Structure 1
Amino acid sequence: MQQQYENGVSAACLVGAAWQKSRYSNPSGNCVELARLPGGSIALRNSRDPEGPALVYTPDEIAVFLLGAKDGEFDGMVGER
């Protein structure tokens, strides 16, 4: 049986997760990291708190978020860059 993880699980409990961050990440640690979990779910964590809580999403949830991000739907949240 595959492990099911809930939102808010400690990222330290996600044994074997291979965390990945964007190449746009900066040295001050302002980044979000993602990891694919067994069973296909995807976890997100704050790189400044690697053992803190992780949010867990389905591949479909991540896919629609990425489509929106690519289309610029969330650009107003971070202001001009």
Structure 2
Amino acid sequence: MYDVSLSSTAARELVWQKSRRSNPSGNCVEMAQLPTGDIAVRNSRYPQGPVLVYTREEIEAFVGGAKDGDFDHLIA
């Protein structure tokens, strides 16, 4: 993972996607694929804020762990 400073223009040009589970108050993260294949992640409430970038492998590991319940204790 690394922090990247995308210009607001560059960030607007990405196709950001929120989870279908996002709640009406906007408490969600958004993700977008970069041209390099890496995945950008940002707070949906602060679209001009910082963007974290993960490799595809890091996102695959996180999503797999979430599906397996590895992080359930954080929200229980």
TM-score by length of 1: 0.83
**Paired position in structure 2 for 1:77:** 74
Secondary structure of 2:30 counterpart: strand
- Matched residues in 1 for 2:58 and 2:6: separation? 20
Q: Name the count of aligned residue pairs.
A: 74
Show the counterpart of 2:30: 33
Pairwise CA distance, 1:28: 0.4
Identity %: 55
Please point out which of 5, 9, 14 is paired with 1:9.
Answer: 5
How has the CA–CA distance of structure 1 residues 75 and 11 changed in structure 2, closer, same or farther, with 3 Å as cutoff? farther
Aligned-partner Cα distance in 2 for 1:27–1:19: 17
Q: Where in structure 1 are there 5+ consecutive unaligned residues?
A: 1-5
Q: What is the CA deviation profile of residues 29-66 of structure 1, one whole-angstrom value per residue up to 9, with x for unaligned ones?
A: 11000000001010000000001001000000100011
Q: For residues 48 and 33 of structure 1, do their structure 2 counterparts lie closer, same or farther at Cα, with a shift above 3 Å needed?
A: same
**Which of the pair is proportionally richer in helix?**
2
CA RMSD of aligned residues (A): 1.6
Moved over 3 A (4+): none
Instruction: Give the letter for the 1:26 counterpart.
Output: N
